[in-house]
Amino acid sequence: MISSALPIHDYALLDDAECEARIVAAKAKLGKRCIVLGHHYQRDEVFKHADIFGDSLKLSREAAQSEAEYIVFCGVHFMAEVADILSRPEQIAILPDMAAGCSMADMANKIKVQQCWDELAQILDVESTVTPVTYINSAADLKAFCGQHGGIVCTSSNAEKILNWSFAKREKVLFFPDQHLGRNTGYRMGIPLEQMVTWDFNKPMGGLSEQQIRDAKIILWKGYCSVHQAFQPEQIDNFKQKHPETIVISHPEACFEVCQKSDYIGSTEMILKIVREAAANTRWLVATELNLVNRLNQEFSDQGKHVHFMAPTLSMCSTMFRTDPQHLAWVLENLAAGHVVNQVSVPAEQVVLAKKALDNMLLAS
């Protein structure tokens, strides 16, 4: 008789200590058949169990090169999709909590982007003049959309290279879903703000005039990360009044005004690298997710480095926070018992097109 999968409700009331013991035991039983990926924004109780940690693309690429049969992604839904797209056919991508999504990714869906593309086609020959670029923080069907229309995917660390690739192909870029990454990158490349217009997906023609669209170099989707929206330029001013020696470093998902006041702008991996390599007894104000900032502060406290979170109020990624020890224990114990739960599987036709856009990115960067 084949036993059924272990139900999640049996785990809901387990305390973290019991979950930890069960996670360790299940991982030991699974061995190299399973690899647990931990995104930098994960809570510590989950992050500690990761076999490898990093940003979403790095994790997916390393998992695809591993011998693991099961890829358990402690992150959000689009990350598990990327792991499924890049992995080998025999590998299975799993998300511990299917409700762990991304509010920014949700701001650009296939219907809205297709409507935007169709409306732009009323003014421009889109296929020859516009390169669609999607941030990796997006659903698989939007990566497939880019692959279908000669476009590409970018990350926060390679966005400038990707925009250069895009402009070499066509004169304009449609950039989604994060307006701030597009604007901050474009400005650093020397593109004037007036040549970067914002497409409001809730308005006809994005709320733009025909002339604005014709004059635009980059059409920015009106999307944003709720975590990075919490950072404001006056927070930098107020902090530096007390600590004028502070060095400011911001993720490019933060707004333009914050990035303009920052000493460094960089991806999660770059933030980690710069702070880790900095001199002892330095003070840092960081505009990115709380768990990562707290982890950095603890890591270098013995060197006299002070790493501060920019916002005066707590701001963590609530959807990342959904992945808890209880869900991780549930997934791993089911795998150890021979049951796959919460598999993330991208449809084959989307995989082909999305991989085309991702391959463009890997070649361009």
The reply, when asked if residue 252 is annotated as ligand binding, is yes
The reply, when asked if residue 339 is annotated as ligand binding, is no
The reply, when asked if residue 34 is annotated as ligand binding, is no
Smallest CA-to-CA distance from 342 within 42, 76, 50, 31 is with 76
Backbone angles phi, psi at 248, to 5 degrees: -105, 130
Residue 336: half-sphere exposure toward Cβ, Cα within 13 Å: 16
The reply, when asked if residue 11 is annotated as ligand binding, is no
The reply, when asked if residue 135 is annotated as ligand binding, is yes
Strands (E), 52-105: 52-54, 70-74, 92-94
Strands (E), 137-184: 152-154, 172-176
The reply, when asked if residue 185 is annotated as ligand binding, is no
The reply, when asked if residue 66 is annotated as ligand binding, is no
What is the arrangement of strands in the sheet containing 196-199, beginning at the earlier edge strand? 152-154, 130-135, 172-176, 218-221, 196-199
Element housing 140 (H / E): helix 140-148
Place of tokens 């004028």: 244
Neighbouring CB atoms inside 10 A of 211's CB total 9
User: How far lies 254's CA from each of 56, 81, 132, 230, 260, in Å?
Assistant: 18, 25, 22, 8, 10
The reply, when asked if residue 102 is annotated as ligand binding, is yes
What is the arrangement of strands in the sheet containing 92-94, beginning at the earlier edge strand? 52-54, 34-39, 70-74, 92-94
First and final C-alpha spacing in the chain:
51
The reply, when asked if residue 323 is annotated as ligand binding, is no
Taken in order 63, 64, 65, 69, the sign of the CA dihedral is positive
The reply, when asked if residue 74 is annotated as ligand binding, is no
The reply, when asked if residue 225 is annotated as ligand binding, is yes
The reply, when asked if residue 40 is annotated as ligand binding, is no
Smallest CA-to-CA distance from 30 within 335, 328, 343 is with 335
Residue 46: half-sphere exposure toward Cβ, Cα within 13 Å: 31
Burial class (CB in 10 A: 0-12, 13-18, 19+), 190: exposed
The reply, when asked if residue 131 is annotated as ligand binding, is no
| Residues in CB range of 236: below 8 A, 6 or more apart | 248, 258, 261, 262, 285, 310
CA angle 159, 164, 168 (to 5 degrees): 145
**Annotated binding site for iminosuccinate: which residue ranges?**
39, 56, 135-137, 156, 251-253, 268
Please give the annotated binding residues, written as ranges: 39, 56, 102, 135-137, 156, 225, 251-253, 268, 317
Binding residues for [4Fe-4S] cluster: 102, 225, 317
